[in-house]
Amino acid sequence: MSKESILIVEKDTTERNVITAVLSRLGFPFRTASNTTEAIRLMDGESFPIIISDIRFETEDGAGVMNRIRMFDQHPPFVVMTGHSGDYSFDRVFGAGAQEFLKKPFTPDQVENRLKRIFHERLLICENEALQKQQAELNEQLKALLSVAADLTSELGFDRLFPLIIGKISEALNAERTSLYVIDRENGELWTRVSEGIAPLKLRLGDGISGRVAQTGEMICVEDAWELPYFSREYDEQHKFRTRSVLCIPIYNRMGDRFAVIQVINKRDRGIFGDKDKSFLIGLGSQVGIALENAILYDEIRLSFESFIHTLSAVVDARHPLTAGHSQRVTEYSLMIAEKMGMAEPQLEVLKIASLLHDIGKIGIRDDVLLKNGSFTPEERKEMNTHPAKTKEILEKFRFPKTLKSVPEIALYHHEKVNGQGYPIGLTGDKMPLESKIMAAADVFDALTSRRDYPKYTRGETFSCEPMPLAKAIAILKSEAGSHFDRDVIDAFMGCLPRALLRFRGEHFPPQYVDDTIRLLAPELLGPER
């Protein structure tokens, strides 16, 4: 039982002294009041686990005292009434809420024996309550553990999985926020892979609590971080936050290398993290470690795949000096159009890869055709027009993951027209995938607005090899909506064109070339200096 004071409310000084002497001998602290008014005042600022109270006062009887006492505390104290048994029936005393009755007059020995028994009972009740509370907490943590285990084996993407797990850790440990740091040994630092309520953070190994855990592998569990000499308050002060209790553990990969850290901050209700919290987090840490290691490997594979695709795309464009950057620009235009049209993953990813590699078939075109400085003969045009089929042939040799299986076919159709007069198949708009329709518009726009070795023709007009004036290129796209291009795609393209032009202003496009058009289309996008 806690050593909170016991309250004695007894008007009779002699009897009060008997009780206080016994309590002193037993080593229990106590407070005394000689009437109910004094008792209520004491209870206003302090809580008492046990109240030993007289049953009869001049102004109030035992039942009234009891009710007033109970108004003050959410967790009612154990009440012992003292009095002469002739004054009240036991039914009335216990009916009013007392748990025990101490009959007057009493001797110190009688009081001691009775109080010992009461304290023992009270202790059992307290232990029972604590066990029930512990059991309830364990049940909650077990539920959280099972739920996290289910999440880890689900097919959730990593970007959704980790915030979910972090949230469940905070919930299970009743904490304000949790962060997951990944250790970067090469650069001697660690950074937040996922965090709640804080901006992404980078720390030196050894700095602060998580940096220290990352460096030494020791678990840190503290009541108040501000008392640690190595804790910097700078972040707290900048963000008007107060870090108090912290539980921070290292995470190991399958090789046994320490590669991450989980930090849980501020047990709610000003509590501290206990042994159960530590066991829970350590138990969960090994599972999180496996999932995180997979996520990191997956990221590395994805990054190396992407860099391979980008390099390949640049190599294809570099075969001709005038097409440098063409595939990259077509990809960026295509993605802007697709996002404007509300396209979601994984189609966006398919469109990205297909756009980056749409002209890869050109590596199979003879140099004297591909690099020709001037217009094509019909035979050369025929040769050139085989490049989409060659693109498909090459891309089909790639081992694309399931979600990217349609890339070769999407790329094949990038020169098709919605009126069925494109090549190589002559597909009509209703058969063309949306991704191909988008690429078709982006591809032509880039060809019109870039320098080429051959003059540009359209509807009987001949233009030079130089980039076509933007207004003219836009007019062509619009006039061919419904014949060459899909109308919705052109509408979406017009909606994101200013952004697309600004993206390459000063890079592919001379500033003046872009600014004159944007001044007409969306002057608000131009800064005052332009």
Give CA–CA dist 13/25, Å, rounded: 18
Nearer to Fe ion, 443 or 515 (CB): 443
Nearer to Fe ion, 23 or 440 (CB): 440
Nearer to Fe ion, 162 or 445 (CB): 445
In angstroms, what is the minimal distance from the CB of 392 to Fe ion? 12
In angstroms, what is the minimal distance from the CB of 417 to Fe ion? 13
Give CA–CA dist 393/12, Å, rounded: 105
41: three-class secondary structure by DSSP: helix
Give CA–CA dist 252/231, Å, rounded: 24
Which positions ≥6 away from 205 have C-beta within 8 Å? 183, 185, 188, 189, 190, 211, 214, 215
Nearer to Fe ion, 10 or 443 (CB): 443
Nearer to Fe ion, 10 or 416 (CB): 416
Nearer to Fe ion, 277 or 359 (CB): 359
In angstroms, what is the minimal distance from the CB of 363 to Fe ion? 12
Nearer to Fe ion, 293 or 416 (CB): 416
Nearer to Fe ion, 267 or 387 (CB): 387
In angstroms, what is the minimal distance from the CB of 445 to Fe ion? 11
Give CA–CA dist 79/50, Å, rounded: 6
Tokens 């040994």 correspond to: 185
Q: Which residues make beta-bridge pairs with 194? A: 180
How many CB atoms sit inside 10 A of residue 521's CB?
Answer: 14
In angstroms, what is the minimal distance from the CB of 471 to Fe ion? 22
- Select the span of 29-37, 314-322, 400-408, 443-451 touching Fe ion (CB under 5 A): 443-451
Nearer to Fe ion, 245 or 355 (CB): 355
By CB under 5 A, tell whether 100 contacts Fe ion.
no
In angstroms, what is the minimal distance from the CB of 388 to Fe ion? 6
Cβ–Cβ under 8 Å, residues 335 and 351: yes
Q: Work out whether strand 189-195 and strand 78-83 pair parallel, antiparallel, or are unpaired.
A: unpaired
CA 394 to chain centre: 39
In angstroms, what is the minimal distance from the CB of 294 to Fe ion? 37
CA 229 to chain centre: 30
Exposed / middle / buried, residue 111 (Cβ in 10 Å: 0-12, 13-18, 19+)? buried
Nearer to Fe ion, 259 or 413 (CB): 413
Strand order in the sheet with 30-33: 30-33, 6-9, 50-54, 78-83, 100-103
Nearer to Fe ion, 156 or 465 (CB): 465
Q: Which of residues 343-362 bind Fe ion (CB under 5 A)?
A: 359
Give CA–CA dist 261/247, Å, rounded: 11
Q: Which x/- pattern over 321-340 shows residues binding Fe ion (rule: CB under 5 A)?
A: --------------------
How many CB atoms sit inside 10 A of residue 502's CB?
Answer: 16
# of chain residues touching Fe ion (CB under 5 A): 2
Give CA–CA dist 338/90, Å, rounded: 83
- Select the span of 131-139, 262-270, 437-445, 522-530 touching Fe ion (CB under 5 A): 437-445
Which positions ≥6 away from 249 have C-beta within 8 Å? 213, 219, 261, 262, 278, 281, 282, 285
Nearer to Fe ion, 192 or 436 (CB): 436
In angstroms, what is the minimal distance from the CB of 396 to Fe ion? 17
In angstroms, what is the minimal distance from the CB of 411 to Fe ion? 9
Exposed / middle / buried, residue 485 (Cβ in 10 Å: 0-12, 13-18, 19+)? buried
Pick one of 443, 480, 486, 515: the residue that binds Fe ion (CB under 5 A).
Answer: 443
Q: Kindly write down the DSSP assignment for every residue of 436-480, as one continuous string.
A: HHHHHHHHHHHHHTS--SS-EEETTEEE-SSPPPHHHHHHHHHHT
- Select the span of 286-294, 338-346, 430-438, 442-450 touching Fe ion (CB under 5 A): 442-450
Q: Which of residues 453-472 bind Fe ion (CB under 5 A)?
A: none
- Cα of first residue to Cα of last residue in the chain, in angstroms, is 78
In angstroms, what is the minimal distance from the CB of 490 to Fe ion? 18
CA 36 to chain centre: 55
In angstroms, what is the minimal distance from the CB of 387 to Fe ion? 6
In angstroms, what is the minimal distance from the CB of 330 to Fe ion? 6
Cα angle value 408/410/414 (rounded, 5°): 110
User: Site residues (CB under 5 A) for Fe ion?
Assistant: 359, 443
